[in-house]
Amino acid sequence: MMMMRAGLHAVRAFPSFSRSPSGHSVSGVLQIQGFGTQWKSPSAFQSLRPFSKVSLWPFNTQPKDFSEPNDSWSPEMRKMYDKYFALCEVEAEGGERETEGGEKKRAPWRKLPSYNRALKHATGGVYLSKVIQTKARLFTRNIEEEGAAFEYVVFMNKQEKRCVCIFQSGHLLEGPPGHVHGGAIATMMDSVTGTMTGYLSGPVVTANLNINYRSPIPLGTVVLIHSALDRVEGRKTFATCKVTSIDESKLHTEATEDVTVAFQYSSARLQ
């Protein structure tokens, strides 16, 4: 059902594959968060964790996280990454940091992983992705060559209901000579906004995307994509998005996007 909706962003991006010391995943339960019937209510959702810690699957279950730094990243890209990564919670400790008083405190920012299929964001989805339409690849992660197309990483601030994506455009994204294609910009804005609203609300479908192009983006440059939750009206979530230079002095593109939450109860989590 859910998988039949347009623009669905399966981005409730739990790091649900906890690594064993050997580096292999030790959770192997086929449980599709957001797609299955398990996800009944916000409280039930919170407690969703793989119930088996022993992998029953013969596959290497650790999908590649495309948002990790690689050699194609420019110094600017790496610098911005380091800046936001320093604000992040420590993943291995479940997002908690010890304060002076010995209490645990959540860091406001989190780096979201990025796979080459939306399916893989769901628990168990990595297995499904080997079975269902195995050749299919996420549009923004469909090119093997590092740096050739979309290089990006999304940092989420759950408290402030906003996220920042650091995006470096590769030579395969050309539109006007020497500049990024308007469709590639639209793709990134849709992806980032969908990722954010999906993270906050559960799976969503894009209903409307309204983009104003202000200033072109030269191929190869690094820009920031800021997406923020605007308001929630019933099942509809409204968000804004803008693309700026890394020092945020120049506005390249701005957009509004509204998405429909696929499950009624999900929007309650935002209020």
Residues in region 175-214 near a second copy by CB under 8 A: 175-179, 181-184, 186-188, 190-191, 194, 205-214
Q: Using CB under 8 A, which residues numbered 109 to 128 contact a second copy?
A: 117-119
Least Cβ distance, residue 38 to a second copy (angstroms): 17
Total residues interacting with a second copy, rule: CB under 8 A: 57
Extract the tokens encoding 188.
């990134």
* Spatial separation of the C-alpha atoms in residues 121 and 111, rounded to whole Å: 14
Closest CB to a second copy among 151 and 157? 151
DSSP-assigned letter for residue 100: T
Q: Of residues 77, 80, 252, 261, which one binds a second copy by CB under 8 A?
A: 252
Q: What distances in angstroms separate CA 84 from CA 14, 33, 55, 89, 104, one per listed residue?
A: 19, 27, 33, 10, 21
User: 1, 6, 54, 86: which one contacts a second copy (CB under 8 A)?
Assistant: 6
Which has the closest alpha carbon to 106: 125, 126, 87, 119? Answer: 87
Sole binder of a second copy in the list 22, 102, 135, 249 (CB under 8 A): 135
- Active-site residue, 230 included: no
Q: Is the dihedral of CA 149, 143, 186, 111 positive or negative?
A: negative
When the beta carbons of 109 and 119 are compared against a second copy, the nearer one is: 119
Q: Using CB under 8 A, pick the residue from 133, 250, 251, 268 that binds a second copy.
A: 133
Query: From the CB of 250, what's the least distance to a second copy, in Å?
Result: 12
Report in angstroms the alpha-carbon separations of 242 from 127, 204, 239: 35, 20, 10
Nearest to 221 by CA among 253, 178, 254, 187: 178
| Nearest residue to 172 via CA among 208, 197, 147, 154 | 147
* Residue 162 beta carbon to a second copy: minimum distance, rounded to whole angstroms: 20
Q: How far is the CB of 86 from a second copy (least distance, A)?
A: 30
Q: Which of 71, 190, 247, 258 is catalytic?
A: 190
Reported as type and span, the H/E element at residue 128 is helix 125-131
Annotate 103-115 with b (16+ C-beta within 10 A) or e (fewer). Answer: eeeebebbbbbbb
Q: Does 264 bind a second copy (CB under 8 A)?
A: no
User: Contacting a second copy (CB under 8 A), which of 5, 83, 97, 104?
Assistant: 5
Ramachandran class of 77: left when φ > 0, alpha when ψ lies in -120 to 50, beta otherwise: alpha
142-161 positions binding a second copy, by CB under 8 A = 142-143, 149
Q: Is 137 or 235 the residue whose CB approaches a second copy more closely?
A: 137
Can residue 261 be called a binding residue for a second copy (CB under 8 A)? Answer: no
DSSP 3-state of 226: strand
Which residues sit at the interface with a second copy, rule CB under 8 A? 3-10, 117-119, 132-133, 135-140, 142-143, 149, 171-179, 181-184, 186-188, 190-191, 194, 205-217, 219, 252-253
What positions carry a catalytic annotation? 190
